[in-house]
Structure 1
């Protein structure tokens, strides 16, 4: 689409694809299942139950890990990738450049991400990352699907290699720290290298692997006033958005490229035959479930506590089991997507599907609402329920948010064309107030 230009107007609502909105809505609600422990649970609080099959929380933890962990973010990323083509669809050939509009759109998304992380204080936010990925993704919009899909296995392998290099660097520092600590306990005079090892490991504890005392201090901070919570979380958010960004980009970009391919192939629009979707379901669950169950069992056996994790790190130079994650995730998210598309096409639970479509059409507003509600409910400057509830109890909060958004989103869209943040984003993108009320 070389030298495209367009009139300054968004894609008409009649051009929206309901199935994509439904998938976006489902993914958004599913993401809350993964995010809510970050809003509510103290460091290492999972250790109480995640290796105790007699505890009901264990089975809830395993169920969410098998069916939702990573899969919802993958689905959301795929739909975001399809959104690139939806954005530039049906544009005219006169007026403001599509390129300029698209990058303006991504700029505002990036700014919203900064507000989300540094003012609303959710460090697990994805808008900033998606904006950066979206800027790169646009360059691949005309690449044939058969090439786009190769991004997933290539990035999986590259990410494993990069992760292994990072892991081995941390492992070397851990081993050096253990040796220095041993020498110190024996009242030996420490060398400059040993003193450096103590300092370096302490930095890792502060930024990546908090020790037990750090964990207690972090909980106390999260149960304090806004200023204290912000002073704790903002440096973490800053590191994620700068220091760790080069490592974070590739996984999300690969998922978006996959979404581009699946949109072009018609998978995400329901254009495939039911038989083909069933084939995807059989392959996705048939291969994905055994892989994720094995990986979870491996984690159950080897990574029961912080101390077990550190001991394992000292013993194992390469965690080959980590290679399973990107492949089981793609297999299962494809199974999920195919199942949802078949369910939508069947019309069996059309009422629920229509509500998911509405949630998906208001995904930006609903996503930010998750953070506003959860921070005010859990953080110290709100109702201060941080580290107060059992694992299963935090999902009562998630379920309440689900019900609220499944009810409110369709009602809102009866009277308004967009969610409030969707309207603001569009108005800023086109630099003109967009119609709001129906």
Structure 2
């Protein structure tokens, strides 16, 4: 029997019968209602994100300068592989699945009797996102992870919520629209900084001729120096930041991050919203079309995968090679920066990222439908079901290993060595997550989040432990 036959084609979850009361649906999704494909994709994205995050836990700023232009260095090739196959794609997949989660959270609750119940569902969702914002603030300002996404997802989720009922075509338009706006805005920003650089060079020419600088020219020098300090390497500042990160004093490490993180979360927040929002909306569109529930014909998944890899891999490989040959380090970028008013190469990024994330997702769905490596897929499903807990576990493990108040390994490892730890964390979470879910309904943070959302303590321990953790919905049969 095809397990998807139990599902509503529109929503992908169990149909709620007319007359169902609010109290019957105002609860977390049960194990029997979970969609394994969504959990597996979330698990893969969660583990994949660590590939990109771990250097920012562990490496000094501008860490890639020493190997980015050296193909004889193993770090060059490790970085190349991660950049080509995973950079941006795992975050994109995670954002898309978060968008799916918004629909899944609301679907059952909105099928109850109209009126007060639907208003309560909206309030419930906003309470859920509000707690996520708070958890994000704790992750970034208490646990000191500068790359936290929970805060942003909570805020962006509140915005994405209002688009959830749009037609898939309109939802998907957000990605190209944001890509175009993003390229235009980043180009204007780039040109603004470049103009400061060119004006500074003109003033330097005047200064070398022995002429006294005017007040306007002196301000031009100050403007460039400020921009240079903010956007280009400063060896003394990098050394000071590294010293702070290696301090055994928690508050010294916190001082290194908190101001910058808070500015990103407030002053620059508006610039961080649009890309994840567009990806969440794309996730909603793909879910409504049946992509994430395995309802597309197998031939269509194959086509999506082959087109995605066939176009995406050459594009991203060319982009990486172009960067290697033209902008291998900060000094080369400065020269390039002065000669090129527009970074046309940046147009490749949004195209190759979507092509490859769709190819990755299609490959995973085909594997799920094939019934192969089922044991691994079940473990990935468990990791995805506990994504919140596992994400924060990444923070706890990496800050303990690398920060000065832990094992103080910051700036002490080769780039490639970081991925031994990544592999160890993956193995740990693939082993522990299914064992935990054998005895408990939720991961510990998932349990806390749900209890706070529903404002009621949720049952945690299973009345009878499962003989082996098995997701409720497996492959199509």
**Shorter-chain TM-score range:** over 0.9
Q: Per the alignment, do residues 73 and 189 of structure 1 end up closer, same or farther by CA in structure 2, a change over 3 Å counting?
A: same
Aligned partner of residue 218 in structure 1, secondary structure? helix
Equivalent-residue separation in structure 2 for 1:219 and 1:197 (angstroms): 31
Equivalent-residue separation in structure 2 for 1:153 and 1:115 (angstroms): 33
Equivalent-residue separation in structure 2 for 1:171 and 1:14 (angstroms): 56
Q: Is the 8 A contact 1:78 1:258 kept in 2?
A: yes
Deviation, 1:76, is: 0.2
The equivalent position to 2:238 in structure 1, one of 210, 215, 234, is 215
Aligned residue runs from structure 1 range 252-263, under 5 A = 252-263=276-287
Q: What is the match of residue 155 of structure 1?
A: 178
Deviation, 1:199, is: 3.0
Equivalent-residue separation in structure 1 for 2:400 and 2:218 (angstroms): 42
Q: Per the alignment, do residues 118 and 186 of structure 1 end up closer, same or farther by CA in structure 2, a change over 3 Å counting?
A: farther
Q: What is the match of residue 203 of structure 1?
A: 226
Q: What is the match of residue 167 of structure 2?
A: 144
Q: Is the 8 A contact 2:62 2:233 kept in 1?
A: no
Q: Is the 8 A contact 2:96 2:282 kept in 1?
A: yes
Aligned partner of residue 160 in structure 2, secondary structure? helix
The equivalent position to 1:70 in structure 2, one of 85, 88, 93, is 88
- Report the aligned-residue RMSD: 1.8
Larger radius of gyration: 2
The equivalent position to 1:192 in structure 2, one of 205, 208, 215, is 215
Q: What is the match of residue 144 of structure 2?
A: 121
Aligned partner of residue 392 in structure 1, secondary structure? coil
Equivalent-residue separation in structure 1 for 2:40 and 2:59 (angstroms): 30
Equivalent-residue separation in structure 1 for 2:22 and 2:189 (angstroms): 45
Deviation, 1:243, is: 2.0
The equivalent position to 2:255 in structure 1, one of 231, 234, 242, is 231
Q: What is the match of residue 446 of structure 2?
A: 422
Deviation, 1:181, is: 5.0
Q: What is the match of residue 81 of structure 1?
A: 99
Mean Cα displacement is larger for which, 179-188 or 228-237? 179-188
Which structure 1 segments of 5+ residues have no match?
none
Q: Per the alignment, do residues 181 and 223 of structure 1 end up closer, same or farther by CA in structure 2, a change over 3 Å counting?
A: farther
Provide the TM-score with structure 1 as the length reference: 0.96
Are residues 1:271 and 2:295 paired? yes
Q: What is the match of residue 290 of structure 1?
A: 314
Deviation, 1:52, is: 1.2
Aligned residue runs from structure 1 range 298-377, under 5 A = 298-377=322-401
Post-superposition Cα deviations, 1:186-224, rounded to whole Å, max 9, x if no partner, equal 665333233323333343344443322222222222212
Q: Is the 8 A contact 2:441 2:460 kept in 1?
A: yes
Aligned partner of residue 42 in structure 1, secondary structure? coil
Provide the TM-score with structure 2 as the length reference: 0.88
Q: Per the alignment, do residues 184 and 119 of structure 1 end up closer, same or farther by CA in structure 2, a change over 3 Å counting?
A: farther
Deviation, 1:89, is: 2.2
Equivalent-residue separation in structure 2 for 1:181 and 1:374 (angstroms): 45
Deviation, 1:308, is: 1.1
Deviation, 1:180, is: 4.3
Which structure 2 segments of 5+ residues have no match?
1-10, 12-19, 463-477
Equivalent-residue separation in structure 2 for 1:405 and 1:364 (angstroms): 12
Equivalent-residue separation in structure 1 for 2:106 and 2:325 (angstroms): 49
